[in-house]
Amino acid sequence: MALQAGIARTLINPPLDIPSGMWMAQKHVRGEGLDMDLAATALVLADGDLRAAIVDFDLCFLSDEQAAAIRTAVEAATGISAKHVFPFCSHTHAGPVTMEFYQGEGEDRVQAYIATLPQLAAGAARRAAETLKPVRVGAGVGMSDIGINRDVQLDDGRIIVGCNPDGFADRSVTVLRLDTVDGEPLVCIVNYACHPTVLGPGNRLISPDYPGSVRSTVEKNTGATCVFLQGAAGDMGPQDIRA
C-alpha cells in the first residue's frame, strides 16, 4: 500500500490585545498588533489502515491537558486514534500566553483563546484527511547559522542567556519532502533547533518569529506546504535578536 498524505492549514490569530510574549525580561502584558499570521498546520499520513496526524501550532507551548483536548477533537473529526495525533509547537516566544493557570490582566482573553484551539485543529485535520493522495518521499540535510549556543558563563560562575560562539551548536537543518506520484511538491517538513526569539522582549507584536519566515520562504521556492518542527532547542538561540 502506498504512503498517502494530506495537508491543510488554518489561522489561529488571537485577539490582538491578548497577553502576549513569553520572555522573562519583557515589560509589557498585552500585545499591540500582528506581525505575521499565526497558523496551525495539519499533516495527515496514511499507510493502509494506519493513519496519523501531526498538527503544528505557532505557539510557545501547550499543556498536557490542552494537548489531550486537541487529540480528542481531532479523533472525533477524523476517526484517527487520539494516540496517533501529535500536537507540536514552534515555540515562538512572540505568541499569545496559553497557560490555563494564567491570572491577571487579560486572563479572560487567554481562557477564551485556549478554548478555540481544539476545534481549529480538528477542522484543519479533517480537511487534510479529506485530501489524502499517494506520495513519494525524499530527504536531505543542510546547515543554517541562525542559531548559536546561548549559555554564557560569567566570571562568578553564573550562566546567563547570550551568545557563546565556543559552545556546542547543532546547526543542521533536516528536510523531508513529500511529492505526489506525478512529481508535484506537496509537503516540506523542516526540522531545526533554535529558540524563536529573534523578536526579543521589547517586541509587542504577535508573531510566529523566524519559523513563520522559514515557512513563507520554503513555500515560495518549492510550492509545497511547509511544516516547521522545532528541534531540541534547549541551549540554542538566535545570533540576531531584535529587542
Report pLDDT digits (tens) over 186-208: 999 999 999 999 999 899 999 99
Contact in structure between 41 and 16 (CB atoms under 8 Å): no
Same domain as 140, residue 121: no
- Final residue of a structural domain among 114, 129, 144: 129
How many whole angstroms separate alpha carbon 100 and alpha carbon 114? 8
The grid cell for 230 is 522545532
Helical H segments across 83-237, by residue range: 107-129, 210-222
Percent of the chain surpassing pLDDT 70: 99
Average pLDDT of the chain, as a whole number: 95
- Final residue of a structural domain among 129, 149, 169: 129
Same domain as 174, residue 85: no
Same domain as 152, residue 67: no
List the domain range (segments joined by +) for residue 199. 136-238
Q: Does some domain include residue 60?
A: yes
pLDDT over 70 at 25, yes or no = yes
In this prediction, residue 153 carries a pLDDT of 87
How many whole angstroms separate alpha carbon 172 and alpha carbon 191? 8
Same domain as 187, residue 100: no
Farthest-apart Cα atoms in the chain, separation: 61
In this prediction, residue 26 carries a pLDDT of 86
* Element of type H or E holding 214: helix 210-222
